[in-house]
């Protein structure tokens, strides 16, 4: 039976083996677990990625909105299954994403994605332990947001824009690039990471006196601030305008791969597959790596110390361990 690995699974196994086990292994809880509710940031991130990829492939805002709505509908159907769907919440998220898209369309750099690589799922064999041939069991499942002229394109929606130095260290983009190389036979030049801050501009702040605020922390564009001052006959403060004008709503970071870097990613996958094989078989007992940065946003923190069956069944859907799934359907990835 083919055993599919994803970057998300590898990352969890490397971060906290207990988190990996609750999601994929099933040893600690008696089965693998899937959160009944879709986390807002994951739902927004998937819808955003689908929307902007469609926009740059088709060149129309309507294509972006259609792709966004399709992804939100998919997540909504899962929520309905467990009686967790809220029309108000769904509409609020949709309107927020529409405001983001409207601003994105007005300031983004125009380019066209290749249809061949748009929202593409890649399944390629991982090298065997010797590295001399492909594994007959382990395969890597990857997703590409898009490709353009031998560049991979990744779209991300972030609560804050990532420091360029941190993006340079990201392993996911290298693993996806390795998969693209194995699938097509063409080595990508690099990856362009397109990050969008998960905030949309608001109107200029108006004080109770009816005058526009000159606060530098207001969430409006420099042009909106200038127009607001003009409309109210107020003298614009240059320092405030300059500060607002320097605010970064999104960024594009190109990362070029050095010689041998993708080969190294392939060797990392061999090690990752070996670790997961040992966890899958029970040869290794999952270690709980309790650290604030690991536990703060973990879906399993309520059950991690001692999985209580009643609480588990309230919060999670029980699914087969990944090693027991045959020809499992694939779904759009979650944010790393």
pLDDT single digits (tens) 79-91: 888 777 788 889 9
Strands 32-35 and 3-6, bridge-based pairing? unpaired
291 and 209 in a common domain: no
305 and 222 in a common domain: no
- Residue 147 · residue 122 · CB < 8 Å: no
Does position 333 have pLDDT exceeding 60, yes or no?
Answer: no
Range of the domain at 24: 3-40+59-106+274-324
**For residue 329, what pLDDT band results from cuts at 50, 70 and 90?**
very low
Q: Which residues contact 282 (CB under 8 A, 6 or more apart)?
A: 27
pLDDT of residue 118: 64
Mean pLDDT of all residues belonging to the chain: 91
pLDDT > 90: percent of the chain: 76
Number of domains within the chain: 2
Q: Pull the structure tokens for residue 120.
A: 């593409």
Q: Is residue 77 part of a domain?
A: yes
pLDDT of residue 115: 58
> pTM to 2 decimals?
0.87
Q: Is residue 45 part of a domain?
A: no
67 and 30 in a common domain: yes
Does position 312 have pLDDT exceeding 90, yes or no?
Answer: yes
15 and 74 in a common domain: yes
Strands 3-6 and 134-144, bridge-based pairing? parallel
81 and 20 in a common domain: yes
Lowest mean pLDDT among 59-63, 128-132, 283-287: 128-132
Q: Is residue 269 part of a domain?
A: no
- Residue 19 · residue 32 · CB < 8 Å: no
Alpha carbons 241 and 226: distance in angstroms, whole number: 7
Per residue, the 3-state secondary structure of 219-262, as one string, reads CCCHHHHHHHHHHCCCCCCHHHHHHHHCCCCEEEEEEECCCCHH
Does position 326 have pLDDT exceeding 70, yes or no?
Answer: no
Does position 335 have pLDDT exceeding 50, yes or no?
Answer: no
92 and 16 in a common domain: yes
- Mean pLDDT for 245-250 is 96
Q: Is residue 286 part of a domain?
A: yes
32 and 73 in a common domain: yes
291 and 235 in a common domain: no
Report the largest interatomic distance among the alpha carbons of the chain, rounded to a whole angstrom.
Answer: 74
Phi-psi region of 260 (alpha: psi -120 to 50; beta: other; left: phi over 0): left
Q: Is residue 306 part of a domain?
A: yes
| Nearest partner of 274 among 7, 10, 6, 8, judged by Cα | 10
Residue with tokens 């292994």: 25
Helices (H) and strands (E) in the chain, counts: 12, 9
The 10s digit of each residue's pLDDT in 37-46 is 777 778 899 9
- Residue 229 · residue 235 · CB < 8 Å: yes
């Amino acid at each position: 039976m083919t055993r599919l690995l994803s970057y998300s699974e590898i990352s969890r196994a490397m971060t906290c083996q207990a988190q990996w086990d609750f999601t994929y292994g099933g040893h600690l809880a008696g089965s693998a677990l899937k959160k009944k509710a879709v986390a807002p940031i994951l739902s927004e991130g998937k819808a955003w990625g689908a929307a902007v990829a469609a926009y740059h492939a088709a060149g129309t805002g309507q294509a972006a909105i259609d792709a966004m709505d399709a992804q939100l509908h998919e997540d909504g159907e899962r929520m309905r299954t467990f009686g967790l769907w809220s029309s108000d919440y769904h509409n609020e998220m949709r309107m927020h994403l529409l405001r983001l898209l409207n601003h994105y369309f007005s300031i983004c750099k125009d380019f066209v994605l290749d249809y061949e690589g748009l929202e593409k799922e890649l399944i390629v064999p991982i090298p065997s332990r010797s590295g001399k041939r492909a594994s007959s069991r382990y395969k890597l499942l990857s997703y590409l947001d898009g490709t353009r002229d031998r560049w991979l394109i990744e779209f991300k929606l972030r609560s804050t824009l990532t420091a360029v130095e941190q993006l340079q260290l990201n392993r996911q983009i290298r693993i996806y690039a390795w998969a693209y190389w194995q699938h097509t036979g063409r080595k990508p030049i690099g990856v362009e990471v397109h990050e969008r801050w998960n905030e949309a501009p608001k109107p200029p702040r108006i004080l109770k006196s009816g005058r526009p605020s000159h606060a530098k922390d207001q969430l409006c564009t420099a042009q909106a601030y200038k127009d607001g001052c003009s409309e109210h006959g107020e003298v614009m403060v240059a320092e405030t305008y300059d500060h607002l004008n320097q605010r970064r709503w999104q960024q594009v970071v190109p990362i070029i791969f050095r010689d041998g870097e993708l080969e190294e990613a392939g060797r990392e996958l061999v090690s990752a597959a070996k670790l997961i094989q040992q966890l899958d078989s029970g040869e290794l007992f999952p270690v709980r790596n309790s650290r604030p940065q690991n536990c703060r946003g973990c879906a399993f923190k309520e059950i991690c110390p001692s999985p209580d069956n009643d609480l588990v069944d309230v919060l999670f859907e029980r699914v087969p361990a990944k090693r027991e799934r045959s020809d499992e359907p694939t779904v759009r990835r979650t944010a790393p």
